[in-house]
Amino acid sequence: MAQLPGVRRQFVQAAMIAPFLEREEERELAIRWRDNKDQRALDQIAGSHMRLVIALASRFRHYGLPIADIIQEGHVGLLEAAARFDPNRDVRFSTYATWWIRASIQDYILRNWSIVRGGTSSTQKALFFNLRRLRAQLSRSGPDTQARLFDEIGKAVGASPRDVEMMNARFSGPDISLNGPISGDDPSDSAERVDFLVDDNPLPDETVGADIDTQRRNLMLNEALSHLSERELRIVRERRLRDEATTLESLGAELGISKERVRQIETRALEKLRKAIDPAYA
């Protein structure tokens, strides 16, 4: 195996010359670790499988992270596999450990590839680690539009085209700080990107003022409604305070009066409300 950048040569050499374990020897060491917590047995199992860690880590070297750190995370997964391995099951440790090593490496990459955390669901992880490969394969298959490409990739990994589009945008460029200068040699003389972000929401003082006005209007309305009779209050609520107003005919049928009488009571109740809310109206 070619030397991996950033990893000390002696470490790689030691991993490459570590002897393979026979099935029975592997099982005996696993039993010693499981039953007696024999640290030497665990070290021997881990040492004989470090070449597996390095081989798996090398597949993730294109994510811009130090390969030494990726190998270290893979070693964490290897130790986790050793702690959970059941020697009584008819499976070799390398087969069992591969999943744990890969999972540990992938979690590390997702945590550190960008300062913006991505999704951690199984679908998002599959999309993250397969997008580049699938995108290259599909782009070679024909001159499809980008939307068609996103749809095909989404079907391949079980994600929506929108999720594929967002993940593709994240791969398109590095993280950019909003506090970074836009232009100029002297950062102190240059505007920052955050200065050009537009927030369409109201200003804080406007929000507080609107809340206070709403509370005052609610108090005034409740006070005015208290001047109405029970029937007037019911008609006003049904006709004026609901999202869908009740018809005059329906209210008249419920109250046992004509729709014209309902209209008259409604008009009188509204007059009372206007006088109660605005004394100058009287």
Q: Does some domain include residue 189?
A: no
Q: How confident is the model at residue 3 (pLDDT cuts 50, 70, 90)?
A: very low
The label of the residue with tokens 């008259």 reads: 264
16-30, 78-92, 174-188, 192-206: the lowest-pLDDT one:
174-188
Pair (216, 269) in one structural domain: yes
Q: Does some domain include residue 179?
A: no
Q: Kindly state the average pLDDT of the residues 245-250.
A: 90
| 118, pLDDT greater than 60 | no
Highest mean pLDDT among 19-23, 24-28, 146-150: 24-28
Which pTM value belongs to this model?
0.51
Q: What is the pLDDT of residues 129-144, one digit of tens each?
A: 767 666 666 566 555 6
Q: Does some domain include residue 2?
A: no
Closest of 54, 11, 52, 48 to residue 28, by C-alpha: 48
Q: Does some domain include residue 143?
A: yes
Burial class (CB in 10 A: 0-12, 13-18, 19+), 128: buried
Report the domain count for the chain.
3
Pair (209, 126) in one structural domain: no
Q: Does some domain include residue 193?
A: no
> Comparing 193 with 268, which gets the higher pLDDT?
268
Question: Chain-centre distance of CA 39, in angstroms?
Answer: 39
State the pLDDT at residue 2: 44
**Token pair for residue 115?**
């300062």
Q: Which domain holds residue 160?
A: 122-171
Q: Does some domain include residue 194?
A: no
Q: How confident is the model at residue 258 (pLDDT cuts 50, 70, 90)?
A: very high
The span from the CA of 8 to the CA of 163, in Å, is 39
Phi/psi at 181 (nearest 5 deg)? Answer: -70, 145
State the pLDDT at residue 193: 72
